[in-house]
Structure 1
Amino acid sequence: MHVSSNRTSTGAGQVTAAGEIDLATAPHLDRAVRELLSCDEITSIEIDMAGVTFCDSSCLAVLDEALDLANRRGVRLRVTDLQSPVRRVLEIVGLLDVLTRP
């Protein structure tokens, strides 16, 4: 799994993830999102998951907690470019709409 993050001067942050997100790799995603959320100037975070081919409950837990933290800090968090298997998992657990709204 590969995770990278960056932020712009306008307060936007982006995390890009690729590969499989499971118990062993979910902490990498968690760390990247938390680092952005710890920046006072961040107003929005986009998690680009175009390269993610698998996600298990560990990934779901990271996304759910990230959403909760973002909401508490007034940061807009959005997941984009989901592959079908990942989209389906988010849909089944009820996170798809809340994580992908524009």
Structure 2
Amino acid sequence: MDHAGVGATGSDRFAVEMRTQDGIAVLTLRGELDQDTAPPLRTLLDLALDAGVSRIVVDCAGLDFCDSTGLNVLLAARLRAESGTGAIELAGLRSAVARIFAITGASAVFTVHPSVDAALAVS
């Protein structure tokens, strides 16, 4: 899977775009991730995992809000990835979203990078 960019939008409140770089899928999230907007993220995560991508970096720098549905989509993808040899990693968590991950304990199960560039620099 070597897409230059695959986009999907859940609504005017949320957008997700996927690109690959050196075999790593990078999903860039923007807006509010919640029950109404989560399906496109789930679709792109499934697409990447179905294609056998072993490492997915989710760029959260543009994510303003994430509720339990969004969190569960990411956690489910993480479990699916790790059932093989893959990994889902997070990058650029902003304070409001980072707080949700910390309160729920989810930040302890993801590798979290300060930025996408930092994530891609790790081999």
Give the TM-score normalised by the residue count of structure 1. Answer: 0.91
For 1:51, the aligned partner's letter is G
Describe the SS at the equivalent of 1:74.
Answer: coil
What is the number of equivalent residue pairs in this alignment?
A: 100
Q: Which runs of 5+ in 2 are unaligned?
A: 1-13, 114-123
Aligned to 1:4: 17
| Corresponding residue for residue 83 of structure 1 | 94
AA aligned opposite 2:36:
A
**Offset at residue 101 of structure 1 (A):** 4.5
Tell me how far 1:30 sits from its aligned partner. 0.9
How much identity, in percent, do the aligned residues show? 32
Structure 1 segments of 4+ aligned residues over 6 angstroms from their partners = none
The 1:99–1:28 alpha-carbon spacing in structure 2 relative to 1, beyond 3 Å, is same
User: Which one has a bigger Cα radius of gyration?
Assistant: 2
Q: Whose RCO is larger (CA < 8 A, sep 6+)?
A: 1
Which of residues 64, 82, 92 in structure 1 aligns to 2:103? 92
The amino acid that maps onto 1:98 is V
Return 5+ residue gaps in structure 1 as ranges.
none
RMSD: 1.3
